[in-house]
Amino acid sequence: MVPPASMFGNVPGYEGTLAGGGGGYLHPPMPLHPTQDPEPAPVPQDWSIPSITEDVARERFIMYASGYCCYNNAPAKDGVITNMQAFNTYRYRLETFTESRSTEWATKPYEGEPADFYTQTAPRPWEIPVTGPSLFQNHEENIKVPYTSSNKPCHTCSASGKMPCHECNGSGTKVCWVCNGSGRRGGDSPCIQCNQRGRENCSKCHGNGTKECETCKGKQQLLTYINLKVEKDNVEDYVVEQKSGLEVDNLSDVTGKTLFKNAQYMLYPVYGFPDPSLSQASDRLVREHQAKYSQNSRILQQQQTIELIPITKVTYKWKGGTHVYYIYGNKHQVKVPDYPATCCCSIM
């Protein structure tokens, strides 16, 4: 049950703060000192792609097939590799480490905490010190705003600490499940489950007809306060389309070779990259992040990386048929679209 608005007071600087729904993200203050323009980072020229040997490709394929009980490993062992084609696949990642703050009225069971409402002026949302994590780590923190706490009667149970039991509708008893309320079973035999009463004590409330109020946990009082929610970090990826045939979704969890990394308070996009689509994506994402997150967040630092994800498309022949598989990522993961020798397995 959402607390009534009349339960909360008015706190200067927190106008519009709601119960449960919050007051929305708060605009950060303007920086005290003008910020410097970002400096263009040097762009490396070594965009070479590492290649794998035929022995490595075969070894990984055999290990892959051996991991499935339904796969005959003959194609992996006896197949003849006819072609190995490497593909340049780059992943651009932009991280904008931000801090955003939002507020909402919150409640908790009252446990004797001091009620400091209006004993001093509450600090504004962006004046509250927050100790965050290391840069570029997702982080969420909830802070009770000082000098906004007060204790109020619980609105759910009307300060009784108890609520009617929903299982028995507050009666404390339920129809006996053995005799269905008759008090007897199997003709004239008395029902020993309910001692012939036809009803038995409710197991949920132990026959009391009431249960502890879930809102105040039986305390009868609530501590109301403004909760400040602090969130940090935003990440976006862009993967250059490659024509190997391997789905881009397969690359989301793999690691590649880091070719370029640059971190500053504010970034310039990457220019001069061999594939123009990556430079275009960098330009678009940098502009979007700086426009979007500077409105309701404080940008602390940005970081951009370019990874080379090696993909090798291996074509091989087995029993007159031509087939393919892929070796990709730093750890040489294997993807086989259609393994040619499988059987139906059943687990007994």
Q: What is the pLDDT of residues 158-201, one digit of tens each?
A: 999 999 999 999 999 999 998 988 888 877 889 998 988 999 99
Alpha carbon distance 150, 11 (integer Å): 12
Q: What is the full DSSP assignment across 97-115?
A: EEEEEEEEEEEEE--S---
Looking at residue 47, its pLDDT comes to 60
Question: pLDDT > 70: what percent of the chain?
Answer: 89
Range of the domain at 269: 54-95+233-335
**Is the Cβ–Cβ distance between 49 and 308 less than 8 Å?**
yes
Q: Is residue 239 part of a domain?
A: yes
Per DSSP, 76 falls in state H
Burial class (CB in 10 A: 0-12, 13-18, 19+), 224: buried
Q: Is residue 311 part of a domain?
A: yes
Q: Is residue 58 part of a domain?
A: yes
The number of domains in the chain is: 1
Six token digits for residue 107: 């409640």
Where is pLDDT greater, at 59 or 131?
Answer: 59
Looking at residue 159, its pLDDT comes to 95
Six token digits for residue 161: 């600490």
**Is the Cβ–Cβ distance between 84 and 328 less than 8 Å?**
no
Of residues 64, 46, 15, 42, the one with CA closest to residue 314:
64
Q: Is residue 328 part of a domain?
A: yes
pLDDT in tens, 226-249: 999 998 877 778 887 677 888 877
Six token digits for residue 46: 């070594």
Q: Is residue 110 part of a domain?
A: no
Q: Is residue 329 part of a domain?
A: yes
Alpha carbon distance 270, 279 (integer Å): 6
Helices (H) and strands (E) in the chain, counts: 3, 16
Q: Is residue 220 part of a domain?
A: no
Q: Residue 136 pLDDT more than 70?
A: yes
Looking at residue 348, its pLDDT comes to 38
Per DSSP, 278 falls in state H
Q: Is residue 276 part of a domain?
A: yes
